[in-house]
Amino acid sequence: MLWADVDLIDEYLNCTEDITEHGRELILSWKCCITGRFVLERILKNGAILISAEDGEVYQVSGIISTWDEMFGYARLPLII
């Protein structure tokens, strides 16, 4: 639901007072998310290499809670996610 209406992020920040400036900036950055289908090409120490299945753009993405290795270390790459 969040990605269907990113204005929810602003609503949340407007009603939340006990958040640090760093936390506020991090949450605002979520409005710049890129959705779609991606090919997980490889897992590196500092993140995973994802290639957009739609336009071929390449991204290096780090995990927020879990590492890519924890989530997909068992899988044979490349993997569409």
Domain of residue 66: give its range: 38-80
Per-residue pLDDT tens for 4-55? 888 999 999 999 888 999 999 999 998 988 989 999 999 998 899 999 999 9
The residues pairing with 59 across neighbouring beta strands, listed in sequence order, are 50
My answer on whether 15 and 29 are in the same domain is yes
| pLDDT for position 14 | 93
Res 1 pLDDT > 90 = no
My answer on whether 2 and 29 are in the same domain is yes
Q: How many domains does the chain have?
A: 2
Q: Both tokens of residue 40?
A: 């997980």
Residue ranges in the chain assigned as alpha helix (H):
7-14, 21-29, 68-72
Per-residue pLDDT tens for 72-81? 989 999 999 9
Q: Both tokens of residue 14?
A: 């407007």
Cα–Cα distance for residue pair 34/46, rounded to 1 Å: 19
| pLDDT for position 57 | 97
